[in-house]
Amino acid sequence: MDAKVRTDTLTIAGRSFGSRLMIGTSRYPNQQVMLDAVEASGAEIVTVAVRRVSLESGGEGLFDMLAGKYWLLPNTAGCFTARDAVLTAELAREALQTDWIKLEVIGDDETLFPDVEQLLRAADELVKKGFVVLPYCNDDPITCKKLEDLGCAAVMPLAAPIGSGMGIRNPYNLRIIRHQCSVPVIVDAGVGTASDAAIALELGCDGILLNSAVAGARDPVKMARAMRLAIEAGRLAFEAGRIPRKLYATASTPIEGAIEL
């Protein structure tokens, strides 16, 4: 691509990434499709989870497949308390030798909405322990500002419930969050298809974290490519600056010189 129309990079905690997409590794039809989709997405940041090793079967070798190729971002998915999330983050740090953590503290099984009180507590503790904390949070400007003030390296508001594919439910809150926070704003959860991702970037959000929209698509590899293009398009549109919305038409073709009968 021409250097003049290249989008700028995403920088989190001093580290720059060419792609504004972070992609999950869960729920693909099979391992090869997952690897192909992650590749097609162009994402450099790839999320993983931490779970007990099966004492019977040892377990999958996901680490060996992804390590060195991608920037692995462990999550604290499935944690309902700050205490669980902090220990999970510490285990992830030891397992991956990374200070980065996608912090999730879930408040409810059905909605998977964050428990804000526990989230703030965990974020505070993890920042103090030297983690680069990327919290999954509500699309609430106040919570996002608090997370930033605690020292989180980004805020990751949901656009809609995890895995719902409902798209950008509250674009106005996302804009307010973008205005009020100086750390990167990554839309985490809710994206259903490419246009949702483009809208988030057009609103000024700095990136997208998604999983289900790609993994659950009929053709995950194609959808991964679509997301990559949509995110690039959305970012270019944001940087280019959209025209204002107007109620009435403005002719694009000049009137001067038109024939008169």
Partner 1 sequence: MSQAMGETHVKQTITVNGKRQPWSGQSVRALLVDAGIAPERGGVAVALNGAVVPRGEWDSTAVRPDDKIEIVHIVRGG
Catalytic residues: 102
Residue 48 contacts partner 1 per CB under 8 A: yes
Q: Does 52 bind partner 1 (CB under 8 A)?
A: yes
Cβ closest to partner 1, residue 136 vs residue 238: 136
List phi, psi (to 5°) of 134.
-115, 95
Q: How far is the CB of 76 from partner 1 (least distance, A)?
A: 10
Instruction: Give the integer Cα–Cα distance in Å for 95 and 89.
Output: 10
* Token duo for residue 65: 């497949």
229 binds partner 1 per the rule CB under 8 A: no
Q: Return the residue of 12, 24, 168, 234 that touches partner 1, per CB under 8 A.
A: 24
- Chain centroid to Cα 187, Å, comes to 5
Contact stretch for partner 1 (CB under 8 A) within 89-97, 149-157, 179-187, 248-256: 89-97
Residue 113 to residue 106: CA distance in whole angstroms: 6
Does 59 help bind partner 1 (rule: CB under 8 A)?
yes
From residue 147 to residue 186, the character string flagging contacts with partner 1 as x (rule: CB under 8 A) and all else as - is ---------------x------------------------
The string of DSSP codes covering 123-153 is HHHHHHTT-EEEEEE-S-HHHHHHHHHHT-S
Taking CB under 8 A as the criterion, which residues in 95-114 touch partner 1?
Answer: 95-96
In the complex, least distance from residue 180 CB atom to partner 1, rounded to whole angstroms: 27
- Our finding on whether 41 is near partner 1 (CB under 8 A) is no
Q: Does 63 bind partner 1 (CB under 8 A)?
A: yes
DSSP three-state, residue 155: strand
For residue 36, which of 225, 212, 229, 213 has the smallest C-alpha distance? 225
Pick 93 or 146: Cβ nearer partner 1: 93
Beta strands across the sheet bearing 156-157: 100-103, 132-137, 156-157
Within 121-150, the residues that bind partner 1 by CB under 8 A are: none
